[in-house]
């Protein structure tokens, strides 16, 4: 048997990258030495900040897995978000905080899903349950994921447990939550080195809202007007992707991490679904969605209901 490969979802975010590293570490502590943290895409700027802070290498980049490979999935469980050969791999474990949406396995597996804001929070519990000490590095990885997924505890996805665990981990990590957290989140808003196509792919999720074929992409910023300067180019890129993928709707959320709002740009024949879902009028394809920061809690379910 080859190595067990651990990975999070495509277009990896901080939770996907850090949880791969963290669970690989836990597996080793539990005696499973043949485990390798991997990733299914480029490391974003926010995660890069975390890895640089800890002087850690990014997990190994893989595009797919060979038949029979043993894998552990973190921060996802959907077929669309994982390797394409997942049905011929052997899933040993899944640790996740998303809804179930379609993976089927041939054999029993360890499956741990909790409705919390971040995989990092579940990882913390796994260390505790196994009596494994959390060192400074591991604590920093976990708390970074919690800061990222909960936008520093401000997202409606954030539970009391995420907050409690985040504060506890920040002590072990010896970081100032507010200072480190804002620096980390702000690092993730630097779009200067990306092309329009890259920006439109950084955190894109393809999903069906009932029968409406949709891509929802989220870009964090500290200044909505700064990102809106690129609106014409973004729309050109969005229309190109709509044509290529045969989408009914492309939703771009430009999320202000300081004030907790999102400016939405919506294109495609079902763009009115945004108007219907939020009671807003799109002007020039765009509107401000006050208080909306979570794709998982405030976008996908609400738009599905209205589709
Ligand atoms: Mg994620
Ligand atoms: Mg996550
Ligand atoms: Mg995310």
Distance from the alpha carbon of residue 77 to the mean position of ligand 2, in angstroms = 11
Nearest ligand to the CA of 16 is 1
Q: Cβ–Cβ contacts within 10 Å for residue 265, how many?
A: 23
Q: 71 phi and psi, to 5 degrees?
A: -135, 155
- The predicted pLDDT at position 101 comes to 87
For residue 57, the CA-to-ligand 2 centroid distance in Å is 20
Burial label for 214, CB within 10 Å (0-12, 13-18, 19+), is buried
Q: Which residues surround ligand 1, an ion (CB under 5 A)?
A: 13, 15-16, 75
Q: Which ligand is the nearest neighbour of the Cα of 218?
A: 3
d(CA 283, ligand 1 centre) in Å: 31
pLDDT at 21: 98
Q: Over 70: is that where the pLDDT of 1 sits?
A: no
DSSP state of 43: P
Task: Compute the distance from residue 238 Cα to the ligand 1 centre, in Å.
Answer: 22
Question: What is the rounded average pLDDT for all residues in the chain?
Answer: 96
Q: How far is the CA of 13 from the centre of ligand 3 (A)?
A: 6
Residue 69 CA, ligand 2 centroid: distance in Å:
24
- Ligand index nearest the alpha carbon of residue 294: 3
| 145 CA to centre of ligand 2 in angstroms | 7
Residue with tokens 């993730």: 188
In which band, very low, low, confident or very high, does the pLDDT at 150 lie, cut at 50, 70 and 90?
Answer: very high
Residue 202 above 90 pLDDT? Answer: no
Q: What is the pLDDT of residues 83-119, one digit of tens each?
A: 999 999 999 999 999 999 889 999 999 999 999 999 9
Which pLDDT belongs to residue 2? 84
- Dump pLDDT digits (tens) for 256-293: 999 999 999 999 999 999 999 999 999 999 999 999 99
- Residue 159, pLDDT > 90, answer yes
Centre of ligand 3 to C-alpha 10, Å, is 11
Whole-angstrom CA distances from 146 to 19, 119, 158, 169, 177 are 10, 8, 9, 10, 11
Distance from Cα 275 to the centre of ligand 3, integer Å: 23
CA of 202 to the centre of ligand 3 (A): 10
For 122, half-sphere exposure in the C-beta direction (CA atoms, 13 angstrom radius) is: 23
Degrees to nearest 5, angle at CA 13 with 10 and 19: 95
Please give the average per-residue pLDDT across 24-53, as a whole number: 96
In angstroms, the CA 15 to CA 56 distance is 15
Query: Separation of 147 CA from ligand 3 center, angstroms?
Result: 11
pLDDT grade for 69, boundaries at 50, 70 and 90: very high
pLDDT at 257: 93
């Amino acid at each position: 048997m080859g190595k067990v490969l651990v990975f999070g979802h495509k277009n990896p975010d901080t939770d996907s990258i850090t949880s791969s590293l963290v669970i690989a570490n836990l597996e080793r502590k539990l005696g499973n030495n043949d485990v390798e943290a991997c990733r299914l895409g480029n490391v974003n700027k926010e995660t890069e900040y975390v890895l640089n802070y800890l002087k850690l290498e990014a997990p190994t980049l893989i595009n797919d897995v060979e038949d029979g490979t043993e894998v552990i999935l973190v921060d996802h469980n959907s077929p669309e978000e994982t390797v394409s050969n997942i049905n011929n791999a052997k899933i040993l474990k899944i640790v996740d905080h998303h809804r179930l949406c379609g993976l089927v396995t041939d054999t029993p597996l360890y499956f741990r899903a909790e409705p919390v804001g971040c995989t990092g929070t579940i990882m913390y519990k796994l260390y505790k349950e196994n009596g494994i000490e959390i060192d400074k590095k591991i604590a920093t990885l976990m708390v970074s994921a919690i800061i990222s997924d909960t936008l520093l505890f401000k997202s409606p996805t954030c539970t009391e447990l995420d907050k409690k665990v985040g504060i506890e981990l920040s002590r072990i990590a010896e970081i100032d939550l507010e200072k480190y957290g804002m620096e980390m989140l702000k690092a993730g808003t630097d779009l200067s080195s990306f092309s329009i196509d890259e920006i439109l792919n950084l955190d894109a999720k393809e999903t069906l809202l009932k029968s409406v074929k949709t891509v929802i992409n989220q870009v964090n910023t500290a200044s909505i007007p700064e990102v809106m300067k690129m609106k014409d180019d973004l729309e050109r890129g969005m229309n190109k992707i709509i044509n290529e993928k045969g989408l009914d709707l492309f939703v771009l959320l430009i999320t202000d991490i300081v004030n907790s709002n999102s400016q939405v740009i919506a294109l495609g024949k079902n763009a009115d679904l945004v108007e219907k879902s939020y009671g807003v009028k799109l002007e020039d394809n765009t509107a401000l969605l006050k208080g909306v920061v979570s794709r998982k809690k405030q976008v996908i379910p609400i738009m599905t209901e209205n589709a």
